[in-house]
Amino acid sequence: MKRIVDVNIPLGPIHPCFKEPVRLKCEAKGERITGAEVELGYMKKGIERIMKGRPWQEVMFLAERVCGICSVIHNMVFIEAMEQISDIVVPPRAAYLRVIANELDRMQSHILANFSYCYTIEHETLGMYLLDLREHVMDELERLTGARVTCAYMIPGGVRCDIQRKEAEALLVSLDRIEGDLRRYSGMFESGPMIALRSRGVGILTLEAAQRAHVVGPTARGSGIAYDCRQNHPTYQKLGFVPITRPDCDNFARVMVRFDEVFQSIDLIRKCLRELPKGVVRGGGVCKAGETRYSGEAPRGELTYFIKSDEFGRIVEIQIQTPSIMNIEACCHEMIIGSDSIADVTATFISADPCVACTER
Amino acid sequence: MTTYLYEQDLVPQKYRILVAMRHDILVRKIALELNIPVQELRRYLIEHLDMIQLENLPARAEMAADHADQGDAVAQALGREKYTVYLQILSGAAMDAIFREVDARLQTGTPLDDAIAYGRIQIREALNI
Amino acid sequence: MNILQRIKNKVRSRSIHVAYVDVGSCNGCDIEVLACLAPRYDIEQYGIFVHNNPREADVLLVIGAYTPGWEEKLAMVWEKIPAPKAAITIGNCPISGCLFDRKGSFVDPPVKKHIPIAAEVPGCPPRPTEILQAIMSVRDSVFANWEEEH
C-alpha cells in the first residue's frame, strides 16, 4: 500500500528524548502531522518463546525481565496467576507486603515517566527534582526487597522476606518526606504557565478512540475511563481503593493523573503499614497444572498473563499482553494525529509513558 | 507503506508477531470466518498494518467482541465495525458499499444466511485475497 | 609528548560526551543509566554529559543483547562517532546475553562480535555508581595518546 505524502519525518530509533529504540515515521503536511507508522523490532528478544517448556522457577525470573521499570508487577501477576491455577492461599501479611512493594514500584515508575515528560518539554529543573525524588523511592524499594530493579520479591504462597519494625518506621518517615517534596513539584507542574502551553490541549485522545484501542492505565484514566485492575484485587478492595480520573484527555491530564496516583500510592502504603496483620509471610504451596488468564494493574495499565501449565509446574503456553501495546498504538494512531509541530510528537509520545521493552518482549 | 532508502525488510519480524499464541488464534478465526487461507490473510495483514497495530490485534478484537455492532444482527455477522473501526483491515467506504448491497438483497427477499454469505464473499474480494 | 600536548589530553578527558544505545535489553539498565543523571549521582560534576547524540559523543554505552533489528544499524552508529571513541557495555546482556540467550530467542550476543568494546560492566542491572566508575576509568584511556598521534 503506497501513499504519497507531503513530508515524511522518521524519528528514532536513536533519539535524545526516547529512552528506548522505536522508530516513528510521521507523515506531515507542512508541520501538521497527518499520520504515523511505527516500526518496532529493535527490542524483540522472544521472551515468550524462551519461557515455553521451562519450570515456573525459571519463568519467574524471565517474567521479571520483560520490563525493567515495572519488574515488580510482572513478578506479582505471574506469581498470582500460578497461585490461581494451583489454589495456593497467600498469608494476609504477605498479601499486604505485596501491595507495599507494588505501590513503591508504581511510585518510582510514575515519577520516572513524569521526569521523562518534563525532560522532553525541556523543563530540566523539574525533571531533575523528580529524578532525585525517585532515588528516595528506590532506596525504600531496596530496603524492603533487597534490590533496586529486579528484586524477585514475590514467590508462590508469599513473599521472600518480612519487613522489620525499624524498616517500617523508616519507610513511614521517608514517605512523609517524599509526599512533601512531591506536593511542591506537582504544584510547580500544575501552575507553570509555560508547561500549560506545551501540555494543555496537546495530544487529545477522545474517550471513544480510547475505548476502541483498549487503552489502559493512566493514559485511559486521563481520558476519563474509570477502569483500574486494582479494583478487582482482593487486597486493594480491603484497602478501599478508588481509581483517579481526569476528563481533559490531553498530555497535561495524563501527567497529572500520574502525580495524583503517586499520592494515592503513598496513602495506600501508609494504610497497609497501619493495618499490617501479624503472622507468617511464606505459606508455601505446590504449582499444579491448569490454564488461566490473570490481570493486574501495572504502572502503565492492565497487564494480562495467559498461562497454561502442566502438572510439574512447567509452562506449556504463555502470552503476555502488556499495557504499552495498547497505549503506544493509541498514541501513534490517535493522539499525535493533528499535532501542530514535530516537537509535540515526542512530547505526546512520552506522555503516554511508552515502554518498548514491554511491547516487544 | 512508504519506501525508504535505508529500510530493513520487516516481513520476518512482522510474521513473528503474528505467530504468537493469541495472534495465531485470532488470525485463524478471521480466516475461518471469511473462508480465506491463513497464510494469505497473514500476508495481507503484514502488508497493510504496521507493527504496533499487529501487536494490538487481540486487544482490539476483544473490545470489538464486547462493544462493536451492538443490536444489529447483520452488521454483527459481517463484522461491520469490527473490521473497519476496531481491527482496521478494511476501509469504511468499502464496508459501507458491501453493507448496502447486502441490505438491498435482504429487501428483495434473500434469506439472511445467503445474504451474509454473499457479504462475506464481497469482503474477501474487497480484501483482494 | 610535550607538556602542552599532555595538558590538552588531560583537559579533553575532563569533558566527555556520552550517548547510549539500547540494542535489546529489559530496560532495567537504561533506567540505571538515566539514574546517573540524578542529582544524587550527578554525572555532570565529573564533566560527563549525556546527550544521546552519536555524532558528538566520545563514549557509547551499549545496553542489551543485540536483537536482529540492530544488524547494520549498530555498526552505522559506531561509525558516526568521531575519532577518539570508546564503547562500554552495561549489564550482563551484552556480555553473555544474560537469561535471554536461550534456544528459541532472537538475540545474538555478545556485542563484542559486532563493535569493539573497551570496557564491560556486569550486573543485572549494575548500580549507577558502577556505571559511573566505568565511564570514569575509560575516559582517561580514550584521550591518553590522542595529541601525539594526530
Return the residue in C17, C21, C22, C56 with the most chain A beta carbons within 10 A, the one to mutate for interface testing: C22
Chain B residue at shortest CA distance from C68: B13
Residue A41 grid cell = 523490532
What is the value of pTM for the model shown? 0.89
Note which residues in 73-132 of chain C have CB less than 8 A from chain B: 106
Q: Where are the beta strands (DSSP E) in chain B?
A: none
CATH C-level class of A54-360: mainly alpha
- Say what the pLDDT of residue C135 is: 87
End-to-end CA, chain C? 11
> In the predicted model, what is the mean pLDDT of residues C7-31?
85
* Cβ <8 Å between C98 and A65: yes
Burial (Cβ within 10 Å: 0-12, 13-18, ≥19) of residue A333: buried
Cβ burial B76-111 (10 Å sphere, 16+ → b, else e): bbbbbbbbbbbbbbbeeebbeebbeebeebbeeeee
Note the pLDDT tens digit of each residue in A282-326.
888 888 888 898 988 888 888 899 998 888 888 888 888 888 888
- Say what the pLDDT of residue A349 is: 87
Chain C residues near residue A58 by CB distance under 8 angstroms: 99
Residue A204 grid cell = 487529545
- Residue A266 — very low, low, confident or very high, per pLDDT cuts 50/70/90? very high
> In the predicted model, what is the mean pLDDT of residues C60-69?
86
> In the predicted model, what is the mean pLDDT of residues A104-120?
90
- Say what the pLDDT of residue C103 is: 84
Note the pLDDT tens digit of each residue in A174-206.
999 999 999 999 898 888 888 888 888 888 888
For residues B118 and A91, which has the higher predicted lDDT (pLDDT)?
A91
- Say what the pLDDT of residue A276 is: 87
- Say what the pLDDT of residue B129 is: 67
Chain B residue set in contact with C, beta carbons under 8 Å:
8, 12-13, 16
- Residue A157 — very low, low, confident or very high, per pLDDT cuts 50/70/90? confident
Domain spans, chain B = 11-127
> d(Cα B121, Cα B78) in Å, to the nearest integer?
10
- Say what the pLDDT of residue A2 is: 55
Return the residue in A38, A39, A303 with the most chain B beta carbons within 10 A, the one to mutate for interface testing: A39
Contact C146/C133 with Cβ under 8 angstroms?
Answer: no
ipTM of the complex model: 0.86
Note the pLDDT tens digit of each residue in A215-256.
888 888 888 888 888 888 888 888 888 888 888 888 888 888
User: Does any CB of chain C come closer than 8 Å to the CB of residue A149?
Assistant: yes
- Residue A56 — very low, low, confident or very high, per pLDDT cuts 50/70/90? confident
**Count of A–C CB contacts within 8 Å?**
128
Chain B residues near residue C71 by CB distance under 8 angstroms: 8
For residues A63 and B71, which has the higher predicted lDDT (pLDDT)?
A63
Query: For residue A39, what are the β-bridge partners?
Result: A23
Give partners of C (≥3 CB pairs < 8 A).
A, B
Note which residues in 290-329 of chain A have CB less than 8 A from chain B: 306, 317-319, 321, 325-326, 328-329
CATH C-level class of C11-143: alpha beta
Which range is least confidently modeled, A85-94, A129-138, B97-106?
B97-106
Of A19, A50, A71, nearest to C34 by CB-CB distance is A19
**Could you count the other beta carbons within 10 Å of the beta carbon of residue A336?**
25
> In the predicted model, what is the mean pLDDT of residues A36-47?
84
- Say what the pLDDT of residue A263 is: 92
> In the predicted model, what is the mean pLDDT of residues C19-33?
86
Contact A53/A281 with Cβ under 8 angstroms?
Answer: no
Domain spans, chain C = 11-143
Chain B residue at shortest CA distance from A52: B21
Backbone angles phi, psi at C125, to 5 degrees: -90, 160
DSSP letters for A152-197: --EETTEESSPPPHHHHHHHHHHHHHHHHHHHHHHHHHHH-HHHHH
